Amino acid sequence: MNLFDVYPINNITIDKALGSNVWDDQGNQYLDMYGGHAVISIGHTHPHYVKRLTEQLKKVGFYSNSVKIPIQQQLAEKLGKLSGKPDYQLFLVNSGAEANENALKLASFYNGKKKVIAFKNSFHGRTSLAVAVTDNPKIVAPVNQTDNVIFLPWEDETALEAAFKANEISSVIIEGIQGVGGIKVASASFLQKIRSLCDQYNAVFIADSVQCGYGRSGKFFSHDHAGVNADIYTMAKGMGNGFPIGGIIIAPHIKPAYGMLGTTFGGNHLACAAALAVLETMENENLIANAEKVGNYLISELKKFPQVTEVRGRGLMIGIELPESLNHVRKELLFKHKIFTGEAKPNVIRLLPSLALTMEHANEFLTAFSKELN
């Protein structure tokens, strides 16, 4: 049997990882400035993370949500404390797509409406509802197509107001910083407008924080920069530092009912141990402040390169837009300088490293980047 060939892959086999570095099976060391799509939040194989998972696995790795799982409540309490949302409710799943899927469904349960507002260049996942609100027709199968989704231009308040007036809106889903869309930062005024319209029309504000949340922007949720509270926040990627876990936190006015949502694997013992290890490490090592400090430094330095078209982002979620003539730079960074980065179309280098990235690692990247540009 062969693997289903859907990934364009680099001919590199990662054999070992530690902190912000990985090694291939030939012994070559790489700087990881991408974290496997923003997944590695506290650094590869962090000792506290390894210890937490190992200890949990020796006790119990899994049982279903038909029994009490105290570690879920421990995770909820720690997440409430660090996120500043202690009065919210937590529902645990396995991925970002699943988190967005449940958020959209829960919003519709709450207000009985069907229409959803999403935005141009959005990416929310590949399951049925999540891909329906993703602005990429190439990955939307015919069975996923629906008339219930309204795509609006990014940051267009007039179009937003008109859509609310003309439709029964169930929810608005928005990334605080678009990831796949090219590291586009939502302005405070736009997020505040969404909040006020959702309040006015009894719609649900869904803050997709799968990639831009969990401390990456220098605040726990990137939407926090706007000083607003969403009704539902969706999370995954950095939540488990590589262990599959996702979740939604839900404002207290949205009430649960038995059978409303469900999952087999969501919130299992091992996943919760991984997520707790991440939050404990973020707290103990002040990683959100580090993301802000190192990220601000990187953004400031990157803006000094005259060849760069634009630098966008917050904290350690950074997009470097380059002219077409420099579209080779990302590949050179990987194969010549042994530095992993990400991309967004048409020619944006995405930086999504561990929140524990050091200044030394930041300078290592800047030195290699400078050599390629010059």
* CB-based contacts of 59, cutoff 8 Å, min separation 6: 269
Q: Which of 101, 128, 126, 237 is nearest to 177 (CA)?
A: 237
Q: What domains are defined for the chain?
A: 14-46+286-373 (3.90.1150.10), 47-285 (3.40.640.10)
CB-based burial label for 80 (10 Å; 0-12, 13-18, 19+): middle
Q: Residues 222, 213: contact at Cβ < 8 Å?
A: yes
Tens of each residue's pLDDT in the chain, 374 residues: 999 999 999 999 999 999 999 999 999 999 999 999 999 999 999 999 999 999 999 999 999 999 999 999 999 999 999 999 999 999 999 999 999 999 999 999 999 999 999 999 999 999 999 999 999 999 999 999 999 999 999 999 999 999 999 999 999 999 999 999 999 999 999 999 999 999 999 999 999 999 999 999 999 999 999 999 999 999 999 999 999 999 999 999 999 999 999 999 999 999 999 999 999 999 999 999 999 999 999 999 999 999 999 999 999 999 999 999 999 999 999 999 999 999 998 899 999 999 999 999 999 999 999 999 98
pTM score of the predicted model = 0.97
Task: Give, as one character, the DSSP assignment of residue 176.
Answer: S
State the Cα angle at 215 between 354 and 356, rounded to 5°. Answer: 30
Residue 312 tokens, joined: 């966008």
